[in-house]
Homo-oligomer: A and B are copies of this chain.
Amino acid sequence: MADLTSSFCSAQPRLHIRSLNRTNGTLRSRCCKVRCVAAPAQEVTTGVKRNENIGKLQAGYLFPEIGRRRRAHQEKNPDAKIISLGIGDTTEPVPKSIADAMQKAAAGLATLEGYSGYGAEQGRGEVRQAICDRFYSHVGRKANEIFVSDGSKCDIGRLQMMFGASTSVAVQDPSYPVYVDSSVIMGMTDGYDESSKGFGKLEYMVCRPENDFFPDLSNARRTDLIFFCNPNNPTGAAATRKQLEELVAFARKNGSIIIYDAAYAIYISDPERPQSIFEIPGAEECALETCSFSKYAGFTGVRLGWTVVPEQLRYSDGFPVINDFNRIMTTVFNGASVVAQAGGFACLQDEGFKEMQELVAFYKENAAILRTTFKELGFSVYGGEDAPYVWVGFPGKPSWDVFAEILERCNIVTTPGSGFGPAGEGFVRASAFGHREDILEAVERFKKEFGGR
């Protein structure tokens, strides 16, 4: 492989040329001809050093990688009718009153009365108030603490930018990959360690069946930030009130901030398992909460979420975290789409809220079907009761192998547990987001292929 570096020409001393043709090793002429040929034979580099933090990342983001493998399987098996229990993507139509509200907002944009330009970066006042009334008033939060956004994934990126590279980070292991990846990108970690399958400096709080999927806090290192997804993606575990009290006490003792991801909280039925971290007294001084309409109302494509930052949450110098989050939201964000916000507002009215709950109930039935099937097949099954994810154990087998085997034998896409962290090894995640007929068909295929094992 050629890797030639030289001056571009004397007048441009900082431009370097490398041979582009790295696959066959040939060298092309390396002077100014590069400007004239149709297919450039050589590559001109800038003098900008690549961000070494991004360079620490190992592979692409998990779900595009799964998509790539799915496409490869489809190409190899053009007739296969692939069913996806992979990425947690909603499949059912948006409830009518909610879609109607968006339709009306979109139509209104063509009229003088209905047109709106920039809204407040923090979201429309009525939307913030409605979110507060539905989910947070009873736990003492206020509308001005709620920031409406284009989704939790994006808010997590903005939170990372706010906290900055000097903070230390803990994550549940396994957990939603964005916490780790964004921490790596922002420079909160060291490089990847092949032996531990993790990034240096990052605290991985192992969550496995042995500890009821709740971290052993007596052995956890103190960090500035603790990402805590509840119910957890991917394990589907929802913490009990007692566990969350323990978490809050741990954060308060250590002066940590919990970034509580409640994206699936509406899937919790058990009253002994809180939906919001703010149900725990004292959490307002050590936690903020992100959430989203994506899995509540099928808004994965519409894009709408929110983050709650209590006024009482303070940095070590007493400065309110909410002030900095407001600065981030006004500086590198410009408000969620007015059409999406109209939809969000409708979700929180009586009719929309009822429709939304019915939608959630539908996916919960899917989860129950999957959970029952895996149980009947004799697998170790977790989650799926207070969450739309079922976490299935294949002890001793690498997750990607299990993923490949299920794809090969059943034409079903799952998500390999190791994609969520080293402690996810030996598991796959099955998502309950799917049309009922697909879930039932998937169940039949599982029974056929794994029934006799």
A residues neighboring B (CB under 8 Å): 3, 8, 11-16, 18, 35, 40, 43-54, 57, 60-61, 63-64, 87, 89-96, 98-100, 102-103, 105-107, 109-112, 114-119, 121, 150-151, 153-154, 156-158, 160-167, 178, 181-182, 185-187, 224-225, 249, 251-257, 281-282, 285-286, 298, 300-303, 312-319, 324, 327-328, 330-340, 343, 433
Question: With the chains together, A166 CA to B433 CA distance in Å?
Answer: 42
Q: Are A333 and B157 in contact (CB under 8 A)?
A: yes
Question: Which residues on B sit within 8 Å (CB–CB) of A43?
Answer: 312, 314, 318
Question: Which residues on B sit within 8 Å (CB–CB) of A111?
Answer: 93
Q: Are B46 and A301 in contact (CB under 8 A)?
A: no
Q: Are B332 and A182 in contact (CB under 8 A)?
A: yes
Question: Which residues on B sit within 8 Å (CB–CB) of A178?
Answer: 331-332
Q: Are A109 and B315 in contact (CB under 8 A)?
A: no
Q: Are A106 and B254 in contact (CB under 8 A)?
A: no
Q: Are A12 and B339 in contact (CB under 8 A)?
A: no
**Which residue of the partner chain, among B11, B116, B187, B225, contacts A165 with CB atoms under 8 Å?**
B187
Question: Which residues on B sit within 8 Å (CB–CB) of A8?
Answer: 252
Please judge, given known A-B contacts A281-B35, A316-B49, A340-B337, whether A302 and B102 are in contact too, CB under 8 Å. no
Question: With the chains together, A337 CA to B40 CA distance in Å?
Answer: 36
Q: Are B106 and A99 in contact (CB under 8 A)?
A: yes
Please judge, given known A-B contacts A89-B118, A117-B91, A119-B301, whether A316 and B53 are in contact too, CB under 8 Å. no
Q: Are A303 and B54 in contact (CB under 8 A)?
A: no
Would you call the interface of chain A mostly helix, strand, loop, or mixed?
loop
Q: Are B91 and A99 in contact (CB under 8 A)?
A: no
Residue on B with the closest CB to A303?
B337
Question: Measured between C-beta atoms, what is the minimum distance from A150 to chain B in Å?
Answer: 5
Please judge, given known A-B contacts A35-B282, A300-B117, whether A315 and B49 are in contact too, CB under 8 Å. yes
20 new A-B contacts, CB < 8 A, other than A93-B115, A117-B433, A151-B334, are A11-B253, A13-B253, A44-B252, A46-B255, A48-B256, A49-B317, A50-B324, A52-B164, A52-B166, A94-B109, A94-B115, A96-B110, A100-B107, A100-B110, A115-B298, A118-B300, A157-B332, A161-B161, A301-B338, A339-B339
Question: Which residues on B sit within 8 Å (CB–CB) of A49?
Answer: 166-167, 224, 315-317
Of all A-B residue pairs in the complex, the 6 with the closest CB atoms, nearest first, are A47-B255, A157-B332, A99-B110, A51-B164, A102-B106, A50-B315
**Which residue of the partner chain, among B3, B50, B343, contacts A319 with CB atoms under 8 Å?**
B50
> Could you write out 9 A-B pairs with CB less than 8 Å apart?
A46-B256, A46-B313, A57-B327, A89-B118, A94-B109, A106-B343, A157-B332, A185-B328, A302-B339
Please judge, given known A-B contacts A48-B257, A318-B43, A339-B102, whether A153 and B298 are in contact too, CB under 8 Å. no
Question: Which residues on B sit within 8 Å (CB–CB) of A315?
Answer: 45-46, 48-50
Question: Which residues on B sit within 8 Å (CB–CB) of A161?
Answer: 157, 161, 185-186
Q: Are A298 and B163 in contact (CB under 8 A)?
A: no
Question: Which residues on B sit within 8 Å (CB–CB) of A51?
Answer: 162-164, 166-167, 324
Q: Are A110 and B90 in contact (CB under 8 A)?
A: no
Question: Which residues on B sit within 8 Å (CB–CB) of A94?
Answer: 109-110, 115
Question: Which residues on B sit within 8 Å (CB–CB) of A14?
Answer: 252-255
Question: Which residues on B sit within 8 Å (CB–CB) of A105?
Answer: 106
Question: Measured between C-beta atoms, what is the minimum distance from A316 to chain B in Å?
Answer: 5
Q: Are A99 and B89 in contact (CB under 8 A)?
A: no
Residue on B with the closest CB to A304?
B337
Question: Which residues on B sit within 8 Å (CB–CB) of A99?
Answer: 106-107, 109-110
Question: Which residues on B sit within 8 Å (CB–CB) of A13?
Answer: 253
Question: With the chains together, A336 CA to B300 CA distance in Å?
Answer: 10
**Which residue of the partner chain, among B48, B92, B331, contacts A61 with CB atoms under 8 Å?**
B331
The winner among A48, A103, A150, A285 for most chain B CB atoms within 10 A is: A48
